[in-house]
Amino acid sequence: MILKELQLLTPELSLLVFALLVIMLDLFIKQKKVLVVVSIAGILVSAGFTLSLWGIHATDILYAMLSVDQYALLFKLIFLVAAGLVILASQDYISKFAQFQSEYYALVLISALGMMLMAAAQDLIAVYVSLELSSISLYVLASFLKDQKSTEAGLKYLLLGAVSSAVLLYGMALVFGLTGHTCMPCIADSLKGMPISNIMQSPALLMGLILIVAGFGFKIASVPFQMWVPDVYEGAPTPVTAYLSVASKAAGFAVILRVLFVVFGATAWLSQDWGLLIAVLSAITMMVGNVVALSQSNIKRMFGYSSIAQAGYLMVGLAAVGMAAGSDALGRSGLLFFLMSYTFTNLGAFIAIIAISNKLNSDQIEDYTGMSKRAPLLAIALTLCLVSLTGLPPTAGLIAKIYIFNGAVNHGLLWLVIIAVINSVISAFYYFRIVKVMWMGAPASEEKVPSTWALRVALSLCCLFVLLLGVLPAGFMGIAQAAVKIFTGS
């Protein structure tokens, strides 16, 4: 039995082995490029083990602390893809902390390991432990430049992250105190067995739900828990900012969907209650993110507020899942499709920014003037990703928003979709301001912007999938639908 469980944990165990191997190799080798190869090899091996488990019947391991199912496996692949692309793109940036390359690669791998465990966790204790494993690695990565801005970013991320972890843990403690369980299905069974009157008269349960949503709200950068995002995004190394913007957000949604659906989706009325709560937060989050982004002159801060707005769009799908009260698999698969789309789109944008900002030594949007003449391929790639973030054809962003908005309309959230569409129009102003600057302005210099082959490979893959998800979405949607079958029992 133990051997079988270890076989099911091979994606995580292999990634841990390669993370340790990277640290050990650094002690004995002088050619640091080997560390990149070993890190990418670790990601490929872990991804291979993950793919080999695809199609497996949902299995609980480690005393039902973790679940090996297609939902968790899909998110594991998303985290591995994000980590791999970030490591490749980092080759244009690594000179800024050349003495700490092994630590950087190892921390990226360990944070991905924590996120993989988060996606598989079906016990509140496992959720918390895996969340901290991922978060502590990210706190260190955010301060990796060791300058004033980076140190400030890491410190703010650490302090606010500690507060959010305490809030989340207290919410979990209240739920445990009410039900006597930390296992998610066990908590759900306890809630099903309680009369509605008992639940309504128990402020501990409602407070527990609110605190859990608040704790995860920090992870996904939802209002009013978004205050850390712009400062951390601006101060952190650009590859780390890219990683935070997609992998950390995907991990937050992976665990919050499982917790809310499995635990608080046990009864229809309770599911609709948290669905309405998420809908209200979604509307506020979209509005705050987009409106504040309009006034930003720093491209990383602008993408920070853009990330907040994108979290609001994702929460539209999450709210639709709650309002459907477990009857709509399309809403859940649409949310997963949006996360796949967002991963490639935002990573593609940040990879282009890594190359450009590294040459300019500036993150000011005005310094991107005339970039189409200095780096036409980078400008085309960044434009494509900005078009996708806006939600225009023929990109993944349009299809993702169609799926999300369709699910919301079908479950009585037309008002929320109208707000989301208005916010999409607002976002076009600041996204296309960058496009205008790159293509219509005169460059300050004719000097070309160089980039490594590794960065070009990572950027090409992102752009390819942005187009594939937009033009041929059916196959990817099928993968998302297969992943959410665990919530329907089919």
Cα 382 to Cα 272: distance, rounded to the nearest angstrom: 39
Verify that 194 and 117 share a domain, yes or no: yes
Verify that 202 and 79 share a domain, yes or no: yes
Verify that 173 and 322 share a domain, yes or no: no
CA angle (257, 263, 268) in 5-degree steps = 95
Verify that 305 and 194 share a domain, yes or no: no
Q: Is the predicted pLDDT of residue 489 greater than 70, yes or no? A: no
pLDDT tens digits for range 114-143: 999 999 998 999 999 999 999 999 999 998
* 3-state SS track over 220-278: HCCCCCCCCHHHHHHHCCHHHHHHHHHHHHHHHHHHHHHHHHHHCCCCHHHHHHHHHHH
Domain boundary among 244, 262, 280: 262
The secondary structure of residue 59, as a DSSP letter, is E
Cα 421 to Cα 414: distance, rounded to the nearest angstrom: 11
Helix, strand or coil, per DSSP, at residue 67: strand
Q: Which of 116-125, 226-235, 323-332, 442-451 has the highest mean pLDDT?
A: 116-125
Verify that 222 and 333 share a domain, yes or no: no
Verify that 273 and 333 share a domain, yes or no: yes
- Amino acid letter, 244: L
Q: Is the predicted pLDDT of residue 490 greater than 50, yes or no? A: no
- Per-residue pLDDT at 119: 92
- Per-residue pLDDT at 1: 57
pLDDT tens digits for range 389-432: 998 989 999 999 999 998 888 888 899 999 999 999 999 999 99
Cα 284 to Cα 288: distance, rounded to the nearest angstrom: 6
pTM over 0.85: yes
* 3-state SS track over 398-448: HHHHHHHHHHHHHCCCHHHHHHHHHHHHHHHHHHHHHHHHHHHCCCCCCCC
Cα 146 to Cα 470: distance, rounded to the nearest angstrom: 40
Verify that 446 and 429 share a domain, yes or no: yes
Residues in the chain: 490
Average pLDDT, integer, range 223-249: 88
Verify that 247 and 363 share a domain, yes or no: no
Task: Please say whether the beta carbons of 86 and 60 come within 8 A.
Answer: no
pLDDT tens digits for range 278-317: 899 999 999 999 999 999 888 999 999 999 999 999 999 8
- Per-residue pLDDT at 484: 82
Verify that 203 and 90 share a domain, yes or no: yes
pLDDT tens digits for range 429-464: 999 999 999 998 777 777 888 888 889 999 999 999
Which has more pLDDT, 5 or 459?
Answer: 459
Burial group, residue 202, by CB count within 10 angstroms (0-12, 13-18, 19+): middle
Verify that 159 and 140 share a domain, yes or no: yes
Query: Percentage of the chain surpassing pLDDT 90?
Result: 42
Cα 58 to Cα 250: distance, rounded to the nearest angstrom: 21
- Domain around 327: 267-490
Distance between start and end Cα atoms, the chain: 26
Task: Please say whether the beta carbons of 209 and 264 come within 8 A.
Answer: yes
Verify that 81 and 24 share a domain, yes or no: yes
Task: Please say whether the beta carbons of 68 and 61 come within 8 A.
Answer: yes
Is the preceding omega at residue 230 within 30 degrees of 0, hence cis? no
Domain boundary among 262, 288, 318: 262
Q: Across the strands, what pairs with 66?
A: 61, 121
- Per-residue pLDDT at 481: 86
Number of domains composing the chain: 2
Verify that 243 and 314 share a domain, yes or no: no
Contacts of 152 (CB under 8 A, 6+ apart): 231, 235
Cα 35 to Cα 292: distance, rounded to the nearest angstrom: 40
Domain boundary among 262, 295, 327: 262
CA distances from 200 to 191, 197, 204, 206 (A): 11, 5, 10, 8
* 3-state SS track over 120-159: HECEHHHHHHHHHHHHHHHHHHHCCCCCHHHHHHHHHHHH
Question: Which of 218, 111, 77 is closest to 160 using CA atoms?
Answer: 218
Across the chain, mean pLDDT equals 87
- Per-residue pLDDT at 363: 84
- Per-residue pLDDT at 195: 65
Task: Please say whether the beta carbons of 329 and 486 come within 8 A.
Answer: no
Cα 140 to Cα 3: distance, rounded to the nearest angstrom: 34
